[in-house]
Structure 1
Amino acid sequence: MDNRKGRGRFIFFCLAPAVILFIIFLIIPTIDVFRMSLYKWGGYTDHKTFVGLQNFTKLFQSEKFYQTFQNSVLLIVVVSIVTFAFALLFASMLSREKLIGQNFFRIIFYIPNILSIVVISAIFSAIYDPNNGLLNAFLNLFRSASSDPILWLGDQKIVIYSLCGAMVWQAIGYYMVMYMASMANIPESLYESAELEGASRRHQFFAITIPLIWTNIRTTLTFFIISTINMSFLFVMAMTGGGPDGATEVFLSYMYKEAYTNSSYGYGMAIGVVVFLFSFALAAVLNAVTRREHLEY
């Protein structure tokens, strides 16, 4: 009995600091966001006016909000699909194919993940520069000298896809390494048996590799899609500031500007509540859609 009590106290004192910090820095601020979304407040004065759901009514009547919603969803879909497609492809190539300098390629692919968002944004801003950028210089090899330069960060139709390029480049290496770790645990005998049956490499990839690392894919996909909401804010603020004309405005950049630039703190918190609920719902739907029977080997 004494041993059980002593063990219980030990577990309590080990968990208590983490639980207290979790409550102070996550639970309480989250509740406060919900509370402040019901007030009209500039954020810098003591004067607050309770307005109920008025901020949400204003939000759902705002065309700008629907533009930011569209931009955010576009980034989530495009960046997620492209990132995971290339991460799985490169992980499979570096895990199964006998390539010269495999370790070198692993390091090169992982380097973008250790760079700060500001550094990556500066690199891609230079690449996208309409006059001296590397991308336009390359394309000019195949275009007429009199052609106007492409405004990668200034054209409303393509600027969002320019952001996608930077975000994909930043994320591929991290997820590639995670998938390589999972693929390394798949017995080689499974692939040898498949080859004896006449299965191609492509068929082996979809019939053996993907099902056996599906748990890892499912976990990382949920994590990545939710983190894309945060990462898009950093890239937007560092590269475009939401422009041109709101073409790259996303959830959090819109919330930041309303709360801290336009002195509409309550309205900004209403945006934060919508983003929180959207993220929670998206994670729940994604977990339900990607649920599969667990495979063992």
Structure 2
Amino acid sequence: MNKKKEKRRFIILCLAPAVILFTVFMVYPTINVFLMSTLKWGGFSDEKTFVGLNNFLILFKDMNFIRAFQNTIFVIVVVTIFTLALAIIFASILVREKLKGQNFFRVIFYIPNILSIVVIGAIFSAIYDPSANGLLNSFLGLFMGKDWQGIPYLGNQSIVMYSIAFALIWQAIGYYMVMYMASMSSIPAHYYEAAELDGCGKIKQFFTITLPLVWSNIRTTLTFFVISTINLSFLLVQVMTTGGPDGASRVLLFYLYDQAYNNASYGYGMAIGAITFIFSFLLSAVINKVTEREEYEF
């Protein structure tokens, strides 16, 4: 009995710091967001008025919020599909084709991930410079002729979200590619050798061997990536467009920040935060359920 008690105490002592930190920095702030979302409060005064669910009722009639929500969904869908698809394809090519300088490509692809999102925003702001002297416009000008005026990539409402999505894709591909390369490298080579003897081509091998055997890794990274995209999209929008032009690039977290700190509507901003939390939680649950399948071992 004494040994069991000592073991239990040891486990409690080991877990206690993590539980305390999680409660203080995660659970309490989350609960506090929901509590503040029921208030009409500027954030910098002592005047707080309880309004119940009124902030949420206003929220769902707010076209700016609806537009920010649509932009967030657009970013999640487009960036997730292209980033993970390209990362898996590049990882498969580098692992299966046994290219020389594999480590070199790993480093080159990974570099964008170690850069600050502020630096990435500055880089792409220069690339998207609307003048004819901008990097992308200068390149296109070689084919368009002398009268080429350039495209305002961050100043055009119809393409600004595509421009931001491309920057997010570029930033994330290398990180996930390296993760998938690690998983693919551990797949026994004799699986592919047996498949080749059966006349199975490389594309079919990819879908019948590679993809099923790294699926658990893909599931994990998919949930992680969706949540991180919601966060990173805010930072990139803040650096590159500050929500413009005319609110066309606002995403949920940027609109939260704008309402809470620029418009002094802290309670309303926390309502946006509560909706974002619920949306993220439900989306993660849906992704886990949809991608659930039998795991293969090797």
**TM-score in terms of structure 2 length:** 0.98
Q: Tell me, in whole angstroms, the C-alpha distance in 1 between the residues paired with 2:50 and 2:243.
A: 30
Partner of 1:149: 150
What SS is found at the alignment partner of 2:216?
helix
What residue number does 2:50 align with? 50
Cross-structure match for 1:205? 206
Aligned twin of 1:14: 14
CA distance in 1, matches of 2:4, 2:96: 50
Q: 1:49 corresponds to which letter in structure 2?
A: T
Deviation at 1:100, TM superposition (A): 2.4
In 2, distance between residues paired with 1:190 and 1:99? 20
Alpha-carbon distance, 1:199 to partner: 1.1
Residue 234 (structure 1) aligned with residue 260 (structure 2): no
Q: Matched residue of 1:98: which SS?
A: coil
1:3, distance to aligned residue in structure 2 (A): 1.5
- Aligned partner of 1:261 in structure 2 is 262
Q: Deviations over 1:130-166 (max 9, x none)?
A: 2222211111121132132111111111111110111
Task: Give the structure 2 partner of residue 87 of structure 1.
Answer: 87
- Per the TM alignment, residue 7 of structure 1 is displaced from its structure 2 partner at its CA by 1.4
Amino acid of the structure 1 residue aligned with 2:33: V
Q: What root-mean-square deviation, in Å, do the aligned CA atoms of Structure 1 and Structure 2 show?
A: 0.8
Deviations 1:109-139 (CA, angstroms, capped at 9, x unpaired)? 0011111001111111111112222211111
SS in 2 for 1:49: strand
State the secondary structure of the residue aligned to 1:43: coil
SS at match of 1:263: coil
Aligned to 2:295: 294
Separation in 2 of the partners of 1:98 and 1:213?
19
Q: Which runs of 5+ in 2 are unaligned?
A: none
Aligned residue identity for 1:276: F
Q: Which residue of 2 aligns with 1:281?
A: 282
Is residue 83 of structure 2 the alignment partner of residue 63 of structure 1? no
SS at match of 1:267: helix
Over 6 Å off, 4+ runs: none
3-state SS of paired residue (1:40): strand
1:12-161 aligned within 5 A: 12-131=12-131, 132-161=133-162
Q: Structure 2: how far apart are the matches of 1:141 and 1:102?
A: 33
In structure 1, list runs of 5 or more residues that go unmatched. Answer: none
Q: CA deviation at 1:273?
A: 0.5
Q: 1:269 offset after TM fit, Å?
A: 0.5
**Could you report, residue by residue, the CA deviation over 1:230-279 in whole angstroms, capped at 9, with x for unpaired residues?**
01001000111011111110000000010111000100010001000100
**Residue aligning to 1:214:** 215
1:183 maps to what in 2? Answer: 184
Shift of 1:98: 2.4
AA at the equivalent of 1:29: P
Provide the C-alpha distance between the structure 1 equivalents of 2:124 and 2:45, rounded to a whole number of angstroms. Answer: 40
Query: Offset of 1:45 from its aligned partner?
Result: 0.7
Aligned residues: percent identity?
A: 64
